[in-house]
Structure 1
Amino acid sequence: MSDFSLKKPPVVLVHGRNTDSGVWGELKQFLINNGYSENMLFGWNYDTTQSTNEVLSAKFKEYVKGVLQQTGEKNVDIVAHSLGSLPSRWYIKFDGGKDIVRNWISLAGPNHGTALGYLCAIWDQGCKDMTPDSWVISHLNEDTETPAPTKYTTIWSPGDEQISPPTSTKLSGADNIEVSSMKHNDLLSSQEVFGHILSTLDSGN
Structure 2
Amino acid sequence: MQRHKRRIATVLSAMTASLLVSLPLTAAPAHAASHDPIVFVHGISSSSSSWNDWVADFEADGYASSELFAWSYDWSQSNATTASQLATEVKNVLTRTGASKVDLVVHSMGALSGRYYLKNLGGTWYVDDFVSVAGVNHGTDIASLCGWLYTSCKEMQTGSSFLTALNSGDETPGSPSYAAYWSHCDEAINPDSSAQLSGAVNVDVGCVSHTDTNNDHGIYEQVRDFIA
Match of residue 195 from structure 2: 169
Is residue 182–residue 195 contact of structure 2 (8 Å, CA) maintained in 1? yes
Matched, 1:9 2:29: no
Match of residue 65 from structure 2: 38
Matched, 1:22 2:44: no
Is residue 27–residue 189 contact of structure 1 (8 Å, CA) maintained in 2? yes
Q: What is the alpha-carbon distance in structure 2 between the residues aligned to residue 136 and residue 75 of structure 1?
A: 27
TM-superposition CA deviations, 1:86-124 (whole Å, max 9, x none): 101100010000111110101101100011111110111
| Structure 1 position 43, deviation (Å) | 1.1
Q: Name the SS for the 2:105 alignment partner.
A: strand
Q: Name the SS for the 1:62 alignment partner.
A: helix
| Structure 1 position 35, deviation (Å) | 1.2
| Structure 1 position 30, deviation (Å) | 0.7
* 2:143 corresponds to which of 93, 117, 133: 117
TM-superposition CA deviations, 1:132-168 (whole Å, max 9, x none): 1112211111011100201110000011100111110
In structure 2, stretches of 5+ residues that fail to align are: 1-33
Match of residue 133 from structure 1: 159
* 1:186 corresponds to which of 184, 194, 212: 212
Match of residue 3 from structure 1: none
Higher RCO (C-alpha under 8 Å, 6+ residues apart):
1
* TM-score, structure 2 normalization: 0.84
Q: What is the alpha-carbon distance in structure 2 between the residues aligned to residue 193 and residue 159 of structure 1?
A: 15
| Structure 1 position 126, deviation (Å) | 0.9
Q: Size of the alignment, in residue pairs? A: 196
* TM-score, structure 1 normalization: 0.93
TM-superposition CA deviations, 1:22-51 (whole Å, max 9, x none): 011110111111111111000111111101
Q: What is the alpha-carbon distance in structure 2 between the residues aligned to residue 179 and residue 57 of structure 1?
A: 27
Max Rg structure: 2
Matched, 1:101 2:96: no
AA paired with 1:140? L
Match of residue 82 from structure 2: 56
TM-superposition CA deviations, 1:170-189 (whole Å, max 9, x none): 01100000012011011122
Q: Name the SS for the 1:9 alignment partner.
A: coil
Report sequence identity in percent: 35
